Amino acid sequence: MGPERSAGQEEITIEAMSLVGIPYRYGGNTPDSGFDCSGLVRYVVARAAGVNLPRTTADMSSIGTPLERDDLASGDLIFFNTTGRAHSHVGIYVGQGKFVHAPNTGGTVRLESLYIPYWARRIDGVRRVAANKAPAGNTTYVNRTAPDTVASQAPVAAPLPVVPMNTAPNRPLTTATPSPLDPQTTPPDRTANLTTPPAQDDDPIARFANSSM
């Protein structure tokens, strides 16, 4: 059983959804200036949960509680390897297999599906940064201040349909030696094809995120 949901996670989700459409800007930290990926996450978490995160994605990746993907809930941070470097991109999970992020120059903050293979294959970490109890004051993490590099552009694609897992057909018992050329059934790549949303996606904030698509 994963960690309990933290105070502030629903607020993080609502705040992130409210910023969809804001222009991308490298080094941007506010709605007026625009956002890069870590600038967006830092702004949202500070406003919604009173937690001051480091400025870069790499530094954010060591903050909070690490989670298994099955424990992912709306308001958690989700990290990606988009440049061949670990934790080079970050977004905010909002439920129902979707996350909000600021992906690239010329784009905007947007709602994206984790079912798109490009993103599913590149997940390399999940963190919960909201405090378990409302803090008396802001929590601050100190780090270097250089902004992140621009994430690689993901191809625009609709979420793939659910593909049922291949199963080997029933064969009658036989004493004959099976042919060495008999095909073998291989389970599909569970990482590349996310076919079931996380178990905690039944909260009302997640349903709100789903209906906005």
Q: Which residues have a catalytic role annotated?
A: 37, 89, 101
Distance CA 128, CA 133 (A): 13
CA angle 82-85-88, nearest 5°?
A: 55
**In terms of DSSP bridges, do strands 139-140 and 51-52 run parallel, antiparallel, or are they unpaired?**
parallel
Strand partners, 30: 34
- Of 105, 91, 116, 107, the closest CA to residue 39 belongs to 91
Distance CA 54, CA 180 (A): 56
- Of 33, 46, 197, the closest CA to residue 109 belongs to 33
Contact 5, 14 (CB under 8 A): no
Q: Taking the alpha carbons of 187, 191, 196, 198 in that order, is the dihedral positive or negative?
A: positive
- Of 55, 62, 48, the closest CA to residue 26 belongs to 55
- The backbone torsions φ and ψ at residue 123, rounded to the nearest 5 degrees and listed phi first, read -65, 130
